[in-house]
Amino acid sequence: MKIGSGQLGFTDQSGKLLELMEGEKLGGSVVRRMNNGMYLINLKGRQVTATLDTELGDSTRFRAQVVRSGSQVELKIIRNFEDGFNSALVKPAPAQSGVQTEDGADAVIFRLLKGTISGAKEGDTLNLNIVRTMADGLKLLDAGGYLFKADIGQTVLNTLKAQIIKTDPFLELMVMKTPIENLDPLAVKTEVGKFDFAALLKNTGKFSSLSLLDLTPDDIKAAIRNSGIFFENKLANGEQVSGDEKFRAYTEGDVPARETVTRLQLVNVLMADGLVSYLKTKDEDVSDALVRYKKDDKGDGIMYISLEFSKIGKTFIIARQIRDVFDILVKSEADISELLKSIDVENALIRWKKYEPKDEAVFEVKKDTAQHLGGFDATA
């Protein structure tokens, strides 16, 4: 294989690059120059030898286009960064595509050159991560390490889900857009930017509240279920909505509550790693509570609850289930370790530690949502 500033020819005697398609654009790097004057090149995860008609230093990265494939591979180096990526042909998905998409999701088809995504098989699903917006308005997408451009317009999220529906004679991906992608991206970002827990607790909970004296796990589940987060889902499934907070807001014309719950819904969609909600309490000596359920690196669930008691001060509770045992850590400003020792809960280990304000960072959900929002990406 030989590489140069113009034509870059790779004599592929090893047969490692037979799957390269003419017209394909890809990235590579120089590993080192060998004693015989040839170069060891890293290309598509493989190391091959190449002759270059121009000198390139060790670790130099480049992008190139395949102008001749087969056993005598020739590549042309692309100097302009934005020209160094193949563009997907975008077309609407046919109504009868035979592919099951996510509930309520729209879909479009991305057509790429055959073999550009290594190991692609029909039926596989993969994530498409938006790397940046190019100067021409196209999005640069990463599909398992393969970079390509596509005209998908403005997006709300930085990750799209795709399913491989064809591998020959072209590679075709069905890209599924969740319902939130049909919303105006700027409007979504504006509403999420307005989200505030203080406003949430002030404007909601007028329908019902909880008593901590006889609180059960089912009470917490019911309260979250009626917090307004699942209102539209209930309507779609014909479920009862009479006790739902967002339903109350609609029927009473409570605009602040409706807007606040809508922002909470958007935050939950964008976080994509669990759920955040609230609990309203009846006891005047106990504040309303913030609740977040989150999955850890092992896939286990963790529940965080933040509230304040008049006698023990700010309190932060972390509860996680480890197989059949619940590990509950109560962190409060006042020392209640002796009190907790007297509490006997079946299959539960209850511990106490001193409250630390830094724990509340788990409720800084705007930082989490920013990681999934599109449109604030870098422009090349």
- pLDDT by residue (tens digit) across 304-314? 999 999 999 99
What letter represents residue 308's amino acid? E
Instruction: Give every CB contact of residue 214 below 8 A, 6+ residues apart in sequence.
Output: none
pLDDT value at position 81?
86
**331-354, pLDDT tens digit by residue?**
999 999 998 888 877 888 899 999
Q: Where are the domains of the chain?
A: 2-83, 89-182, 185-367
- From 206, 198, 224, select the one nearest 277 (Cα to Cα): 224
pLDDT value at position 356?
95
Sign of CA dihedral 364, 366, 372, 377: negative
pLDDT value at position 96?
47
* Average pLDDT score over residue span 360-364: 89
Give me the phi and psi of 44, to 5 degrees please.
Answer: 55, 40
pLDDT value at position 202?
87
The Cα–Cα gap between 231 and 129 comes to: 30
The Cα–Cα gap between 51 and 33 comes to: 10
* Average pLDDT score over residue span 239-265: 87
pTM listed for this prediction: 0.58
**39-61, pLDDT tens digit by residue?**
888 887 788 888 776 777 888 88
* Measured CA distances, 361 to 101, 114, 306, 366 (Å): 36, 46, 11, 11
pLDDT band with cut points at 50, 70 and 90 for residue 110: very high
Q: How many CB atoms lie within 10 A of CB 190?
A: 11
pLDDT at 13 over 50: no
Helices (H), 204-254: 217-225, 231-236, 245-251
Measured N-to-C along each axis, helices 185-193 and 255-271 cross at an angle, to the nearest 10 degrees, of 110
Q: How many CB atoms lie within 10 A of CB 5?
A: 13
> Angle at the Cα of 241 (from 240 to 247), degrees rounded to 5?
170
Torsion from C-alpha of 68, 73, 74, 75, nearest 10 degrees: 100
User: By the 8 A CB rule, do 281 and 209 touch?
Assistant: yes
The top-level CATH class assigned to 2-83 is: mainly beta
